Structure 1
Amino acid sequence: MTGLGGREAERSRTVLGGLVHLGLFYDDPEDLVASALPAVRRAIAAGDEVHLIVDRRTARTFREGLGDDAEHVVFPPPSSMLPPSAPGFLATVQGWARADRRTTVLGQYPATLPATDCGFGEDALNLVLRDLPLTLICTCHHDLDPDLLAVARRTHPLLATPDGPVDNPEFRRPPTTDPVPAGLWGDVAARVGVDGTAGLAEVRQCVADVAERAGLQGDAVRAAVLAVHEAAVLACRTGDPVRAPLVVEVRARPGETLFSEVVGPPAAEEPGDGDPLAHLRPFCTGAHLHDGPEGRAVRVLTTV
């Protein structure tokens, strides 16, 4: 039986500050709950928001073990959240994070989770959520597919032990480029070159077409189009069109996410005060501006 125990767990939370990503391997639901219960209780006592994404039998065992503390835990339906390879899971967990307190999320690997999808999802969690005050406990049954077990061991920086979290010698860090690799959001579905604002009509039509194929409908399509349009306007306004045109790439994971990236030359204007993406954030799940020596990238993510 493994456990998440005591003083070392608290030290790990304090030292890491951002994402604490643990792998927990178990034999049966009772073993899983007994192993994770101390960490869940500590999270509740510390004022964390706690989400346990597990099957019905495991949820029932958690409720019995927690007693009255179960009132402080959210049990999202697994079907709406898993597998962790779905960018919808990433976006939802990202939305749970808050600057004023830590969020603890425990998730149970589905038995049918493909190893390649699992690796994709766990690498995305490590890259995209690394700076957020999150504790993620990913639990994996010892009898699952050996390839899936290998991925679980490769993608978790920490492992649960009876004495608390320890470094995982099998962990292999994903590429840590900044911004993170766009390929995490799927293959390129469309690419459009934009030579000034006159080319934005083609961008809008391109985003709409891909959004509809990805599963967005109605107002959701219009919101996604507006967000990317505004991102491109920002890049056109602050960039230097003489040096290079913009390129808009749209990626989609059908039924999950729509990801667009507007890439152009370095900004010719100094950024003003405040958040330059504030006006487009209400129309998407997330937006990010990255300025580097080789150019500017504006990224827009919409969850289906």
Structure 2
Amino acid sequence: MSVLGPAACGLSSDRDFRHDGLFYDDDEQLARVAAPFLRDGLAAGDPVVLTTSPHAARVLREAVGDHPLLHVLERNEAYRTRTPTAITTFRRLADEYTGEGVPRVRVVGEVDFGATERDWLEWQRYESVVNEAMADCPVWGLCLFDTQRLAPRLLETALATHSALVDPDGRAANPRFVDPADYLRGLPVPDEPLEGTPPRLDAPDVADFVGLRHAVARELTTAGGDDDLAADFGLAVDEMVSNAVRHGLPPVSLRLWTAEDRIVCTIGDGGPGWDDPFAGYGPAHGDDLSRGGMGLWLARQLCDHVDISGGPDGTGVRVRLTVRLR
């Protein structure tokens, strides 16, 4: 069972979410292709939310004019910097509008993939995960991809993660769409150079959990980040150690590195492994947070990168947490 849990805005067991892609070369093409989607939604009484670059939002607003159902949401308010927060934002957006009796919301979105290939990977994951995370939400998403600005690898991601494409001829099924679970399993776990260096903290067989927590806290206070960052990262580490103890098998291990620009921590166990590519993109038990299952979900919100893989010998589970020092 996926640890995404039930969608907060689920209306039925069928998939209500539509995830379309639009590739554009210039402003004229963007307006010509996207404007019918916007006008059709407004005519049907669907609220339409633009959460794109400021430039694209201006182009689209000029194309359709003012309308009381047309709203602009700042892109950084919708997507934030971490992908689980973006999923939560869009699910809450759907809840907000459907709670007012609206059957469906249309969203025109444009992800900022970031400046580095390491940042790209998080949003590549997002574009696929969202197909499952939003499956039961009555949202029709249209994602914009600027072919003149985005790297070829990101355009390939767009083709693999959107089940339908919109172009000047209309909307059509995308034959290059890849099943989300298969796509996510195919993404790489990038190398981390710090792992080739001696760790600041090495606990190969954790037994004293309270002592480990204090040792991690001491290292984080000298790593160069602020108190809030250290507290957040410490909580993420603690949650992952607890997960390894509860759900894995001994030995539970922890290694921690610090550098001028980042902190990295790996937590491993000797269990049978784990193959849920959607893990941690929502609470395991949906809205019922009293049932637990929030550890990996919290870690994904508190860390810049969370990578999950098998242990070095192909068994067990290994979680790598990374946070940038700001």
Q: TM-score, normalised by structure 2?
A: 0.56
2:253 is matched with: 247
Segments of structure 1 that go 5 or more residues without pairing to the other structure are 1-13
Of structures 1 and 2, the one scoring higher in RCO (CA 8 A, sep 6+) is 2
> Residue type matched to 1:88 in 2?
T
- Written as runs of structure 1 = structure 2, the 5 A alignment for 1:170-189 is 170-171=176-177, 176=182, 183=189, 187=192, 189=194
CA–CA separation in structure 1 for the residues paired with 2:271 and 2:187: 18
- Is 1:275 the counterpart of 2:291? The answer is yes
Secondary structure, counterpart of 2:51 in structure 1: strand
Pick aligned residue for 2:208 from 180, 185, 198: 198
Q: Cα distance 1:16–1:189, how it changes in 2: closer, same or farther (>3 A)?
A: farther
Shift of 1:160: 0.9
Shift of 1:257: 10
Secondary structure, counterpart of 1:97 in structure 2: helix
2:109 is matched with: 106
Shifted more, 28-37 versus 101-110: the winner is 101-110
Contact persistence 2:252–2:267 (CA under 8 A): no
CA–CA separation in structure 2 for the residues paired with 1:136 and 1:17: 11
1:221 is matched with: 230
Shift of 1:201: 4.3
1:236 is matched with: 245
CA–CA separation in structure 2 for the residues paired with 1:152 and 1:179: 14
1:160 is matched with: 166
Pick aligned residue for 1:96 from 63, 86, 89: 89
- Is 1:61 the counterpart of 2:59? The answer is yes
Contact persistence 1:107–1:139 (CA under 8 A): yes
Contact persistence 2:161–2:180 (CA under 8 A): no
Identity of aligned residues (%): 20
1:151 is matched with: 156
Contact persistence 2:270–2:316 (CA under 8 A): yes
> Residue type matched to 1:276 in 2?
G
Contact persistence 1:247–1:264 (CA under 8 A): no
1:76 is matched with: 74
* TM-align CA RMSD: 5.3
Q: Deviations over 1:238-292 (max 9, x none)?
A: 555xxx311347799x98997865545269xxx999532458977872799x9x9
Shifted more, 137-146 versus 272-281: the winner is 272-281
- Written as runs of structure 1 = structure 2, the 5 A alignment for 1:17-28 is 17-18=16-17, 20-28=18-26
CA–CA separation in structure 2 for the residues paired with 1:228 and 1:97: 27
Q: Cα distance 1:28–1:232, how it changes in 2: closer, same or farther (>3 A)?
A: same
Secondary structure, counterpart of 1:61 in structure 2: helix
> Residue type matched to 1:54 in 2?
S
Contact persistence 2:32–2:168 (CA under 8 A): no
Shift of 1:98: 1.7
Contact persistence 1:235–1:262 (CA under 8 A): yes
CA–CA separation in structure 2 for the residues paired with 1:49 and 1:255: 39
Segments of structure 2 that go 5 or more residues without pairing to the other structure are 1-12, 99-104, 274-283
Number of residue pairs the alignment of both structures matches: 271
> Residue type matched to 1:198 in 2?
D
Q: Cα distance 1:256–1:124, how it changes in 2: closer, same or farther (>3 A)?
A: farther
Q: Cα distance 1:156–1:279, how it changes in 2: closer, same or farther (>3 A)?
A: closer
Shift of 1:153: 5.7
1:123 is matched with: 124
> Residue type matched to 1:195 in 2?
D
Contact persistence 2:256–2:265 (CA under 8 A): yes
Q: TM-score, normalised by structure 1?
A: 0.60
> Residue type matched to 1:139 in 2?
L
Shift of 1:229: 1.1
- Written as runs of structure 1 = structure 2, the 5 A alignment for 1:276-295 is 276-278=292-294, 285=301
Shift of 1:203: 6.3
